[in-house]
Chain A
Amino acid sequence: MAELVESKRPWKAWIYLSPAIFLLLIFTVWPIINTVRMAFLESYSGLKAAGGQTFRIGIGNFQKVLKYQKFLSCLKNTFILCILTVPISTILALLIAVALNSIKFMQKTLQTIFFLPYVTNSIAIGMVFAAMFNMVGSFFGTPNEIVVTAGIINNLLEFFGGTAVNWINYGSSYAANITVMVIYIVWNALPFKILILLGGLQSINKQYYDAARVDGTSRKRIFTKITVPLLSPIIAYVVITGFIGGFKEYTSIVGIFGASMGPADNAGRLNTMVGFIYDALSSNSQGRASAAALILFSIILVVTLINLQVSKKRVHY
């Protein structure tokens, strides 16, 4: 085999590869190396570096980052969002995909409808969600609370006899904020997962289901004992990419809360890891940002390794 693949003129292959390698070196490899470098230079700042200042090597950036109250809150937000949204969106996507796969009527139309969020800009979706959960009034959280008008979600709640909830506005609670974020992120994550899982479902041999039917297998048992195990490699893929995406959550917060990353009275309350890095960069603290980026990287690495370890036992290839 080796002879077949090996070229007689290897330099030719390098020439073909060079544009891609060149761009990768500049835009991927060097930034990664530079991130590590900046992270280990004490209090590194691009501005000061341009002014000719030199920095000592050390782990001061990491120490500073870990001491930051803001960083810990960002870490907490990221973890909460990840742990809630990945399982919920995966299970929902699985159920929807199985349902979509089992119906014949309007299947293609429904598939398209379920896929629409994927082609919609997430900031735009965020603004629509913000409008849906919105509440306009004043004195929120005080006995003299005045609600002038409420978004469609609160309208619905009141229609069914509930009371309006202050989801995202001035004075809203952390739990309400997280609930909105979870609903929004799950909704945003569904289409891609449904698409991938549906593709997987359609590649399962129909004879397994015929065999199960002849043997009188219940629907629940077919789902848990046949569909899920046969789909497990794809479920693992969806979960792993879901966690990686979840740890990089940022735009969704901006989409709902805008640049303040929290309700008006508590700006930055819902900030995430990526948000923290972004803020550090914009305040010209590249060293701190790089250290946070490396911490985020190592968290994603560890979680992915755990995922792979778990899937080794659970996934049937």
Chain B
Amino acid sequence: MEMPLPDPSVLSRRAAIVAGLRAILPGDAVIDDPAETRAYECDGLAAYRCAPLAAVLPRTTGEVAAVLAFCHRQGVPVVPRGAGTSLSGGAMPTADCVILGVARMNAVLETDYDNRFIRVQSGRTNLSVTGAVEAEGFFYAPDPSSQLACAIAGNVAMNSGGAHCLKYGVTTNNLLGVTLVQMDGTVVELGGPWAETAGLDLLGVVCGSEGQLGVVTEATLRILPKPEGARPVLVGYASNAVAGECVSDIIKAGILPVAIEFMDRPCIRACEAFAKAGYPDCEALLIIEVEGSPAEIDEQLTRIKAIALRHNPVELREAADEEQARRIWLGRKSAFGAMGQINDYMCLDGTIPVSALPHVLRRIGEMSAEFGLEVGNVFHAGDGNMHPLILFDANKPGDLERCEAFGAEILKLCVEVGGCLTGEHGVGIEKRDLMGVQFEAADMEAQMAVKDVFDPRWLLNPAKVFPLEISAGRRAG
């Protein structure tokens, strides 16, 4: 993965820059010892590493503004970092950058059950937002699978989704407002604890901008009353196409499950070997979850089961109690771990129209043979968000490159059938050079124009999202 060469004028001023940061922040908030900056050399895309010039861990919006204003004056690039769980390299440093981590900013600032929102500092983890309100019967809906570790700052930057977004939407549908610090240190409030903003929807474009428009230090999030209960049903099919038809029929019937998860045979086998969840050995497996009171759950599952049975499943299993529900989810939730037991893996997340599912899975199978690399698929089937997991051996020369080439072909296929490169992980550096597959020059120019307004010198997370050759002139400025 090509990254721009570090700016020698920044590297040569390293000591002065670190001293400048220490003048702004308390001593323990500036990290420049190479033994310690290594902790920031990569995020969840661990194949790529580069230690930053320094890392800072501010505690307040004021400190973030001071750091950014200083770096802006000094012409130092800044890479914002939530919890570092990005799978696309969104928090990957360059040698001339300052990593700005929000990990120490994790306070709850306000909870308002009457108006159904919570305001938090952005370093707070996703799951602990729900933790702060669940005693009152509320939860925060977006639930990326890294929710135990990932920070709200990163969720906003990547517009994170999760397994339950079929019903509740993704981050942008649950975000009411942010405090945003621009690269020059200007602090702006966008949105607030009301339903929508007047004027241009700047909040809407900040969400999902991968930390390139500003650093989000506080977020106002919509919280929802917890459903009375939930129950999954597991359905196995002898063919991917039939499983796909079943999903489509459920949606057409007007039933809205909170989640429809799909796993293919390689993934089912890996999960079974790893977690022993008792999954059937079949071509395709669906986990469908519905919510409500026990009677409401019965009403929905009766209809879902009737549709599922019309397609002749090899197995249909409804959870009779909590323990059985846990076992149905066990395999799915350990899918990544299970694949990781077999080998190193790369996780993609292209989205496709649900109708293209059988074709895409068949093509992935053919390409798997061509590239000589195994691939398992887990899939948020209700919304078409795929997660092919390509297995490779990081210690085998050439394997990573072959895996990346295979991954690129899968993503091109997603775009070709009417989908997109990434449904929830973001572009980062991983899919940066594929942007031209999905977008024309004018499409990317319009997006870059937004960054020109928020960060005219392109100092904030500059080498991400857009192919380096098209952002070159801007980054140099």
The answer to whether A and B interact is no
